[in-house]
Structures are given as structure tokens and as C-alpha cells.
Amino acid sequence: MTLPTLPARGEQCPPAVELERVATGEDVPAVAAHLPTCETCRAYVEQLQAETQAFMKARPAERFVTQLQRRKPSRTPFVVLGVALAAALALLVVLPREQSPVLFKGSLLSISLKRGDVVSTLREGDTLREGDALRFSVKTERPGNAVVLNRDGRGKVTVVAPFNATSAQVVKEGTTVLEDSAVLDATKGRETFVAVFSEKSLEVAPLVGQLEAGQSVTCAGCVVDVASFDKP
């Protein structure tokens, strides 16, 4: 799913990320007050909602869990993640694009959470629990390649989006929801997610190695965004 392109908007319009939060069902009072006054933002939110609903309808979490239980080979769309106690600060820093003209530092990754029937955007300090289904979006100002890794509390590293990918997913500029998602298992601890973007093609194996070794994930010309969450 590729999200609709953000339309040109006025100076008083809220940041795109706030519109996305509203589209996922969050209550953002400033946006709620703005929408009735702004046709452009309202249309964008409606478009986002329609896309999200269509996506969730087409790929309900339950279906992926079922597929997983059947142990289908290779590309199981959902991954059951173990505990994560990997350190790293919880950060899901989402800055309006206008504030980061250099590159997309700090605004690369956003994670949407489906818990029961409710879809929301994960934020710093949120906690995760068993059964949570996560989808990963990247927002970039240039086309390139993106991948998301997970490290659990045992230090086990899984490529979660696209699942088991050996090379990163090609993305256009703008916001792209990456292929596949993850459903969390019952293990408690800390879950760490690392998103990596590169304008050039990206080999995933070295990144997995770095994360397994407990190192920071780096690569030449890459943008890296880390988010971690407690799972009490």
C-alpha cells in the first residue's frame, strides 16, 4: 500500500503526521478543529482512511496468524516475535518533513499498531503486548530501498519487513507501507525495531550481523531509525 501523496497545504495546516494519526483513529484536538475549515486536509485524511481500511480488510491480522500456525514456508507475511530486551532508547521521533531539509533523520520509520479492531500509530513510551500486529511505514524524500529489522530479548534478529528479505524493498519518495507485518507473541521484554533506508540497493545480511552483535546499525549512505518499546 502506498499512501496518497500529501497535497500542498497552507501554513496553518497541521503536520502530515498529525493527519495520519487522525486517520488511524487517534484523537488529535488541534486537527479536529482544523479539518472542518480545510478542504485539502480533510480530503487527505479521508483518502488515508480509505486506503488503510482497504489494506486491513485485504490483509487481516488473523489471516496471517493462521498462516503462521500452518508453518507455511518462506514468505509468511507475519512473524511471531520473541522478547526484546535490547537496550536502545524508545524513539519514534516524528518530525514534520519541513524541519529536516538535510535528510529524513528521525522521521524515517513509523509503526502502526492493530490491537483488536483498533489501529493506531505507535509513539514513544507506548507498550506492546501479545497479539499486537505491527506494520511498518517509511517516509523518505527520495526513492530508494528500505527494510525493518527486529531484535528480541534473546538477541535474536529477524527481518520483519519485508519478512525474511535478503535485500531491501524498493520504495518511492513519500510514505510507503512496507510489505508484511509482525504479530507479537507472549514473551515479555523489550522489542527493538531498526529501519534502514538507502538510495542505493541494500544488502540486509550485514545489517542483521550488526544488530545480532548488539552494535549500532550503520551502512554507507544509509539513514537509520531505531524505535523500541517495552512489552511488560
Q: Applying CB under 5 A, which residues contact Zn ion? A: 9, 13, 38, 41
Say how many C-beta atoms besides its own lie within 10 A of residue 101's C-beta: 7
Q: Residue 161 carries which side chain, given as an amino acid letter? A: A
Q: Looking at beta carbons only, is 38 or 103 nearer to Zn ion?
A: 38
Q: Looking at beta carbons only, is 13 or 195 nearer to Zn ion?
A: 13
Q: Looking at beta carbons only, is 31 or 113 nearer to Zn ion?
A: 31
State the first-to-last Cα distance of the chain, in angstroms, to the nearest integer: 31
- Residue 18: name the closest of 127, 130, 110 by CA: 110
Q: Looking at beta carbons only, is 41 or 223 nearer to Zn ion?
A: 41
Nearest distance, CB of residue 15 and Zn ion, angstroms: 11
Nearest distance, CB of residue 141 and Zn ion, angstroms: 21
Distance CA 108, CA 106 (A): 6
Q: Looking at beta carbons only, is 9 or 156 nearer to Zn ion?
A: 9
Distance of CA 109 to the CA centre of its chain: 5
The C-alpha cell that represents 60 in the structure block: 487481516
Q: Looking at beta carbons only, is 37 or 166 nearer to Zn ion?
A: 37
Residue with the three cell numbers 497479539? 131
Q: Is 186 left (phi over 0), alpha (psi -120 to 50) or beta?
A: alpha
Nearest distance, CB of residue 13 and Zn ion, angstroms: 3
Nearest distance, CB of residue 96 and Zn ion, angstroms: 13
Nearest distance, CB of residue 61 and Zn ion, angstroms: 32
Helix, strand or coil, per DSSP, at residue 30: helix
Distance CA 229, CA 190 (A): 6
Nearest distance, CB of residue 97 and Zn ion, angstroms: 15
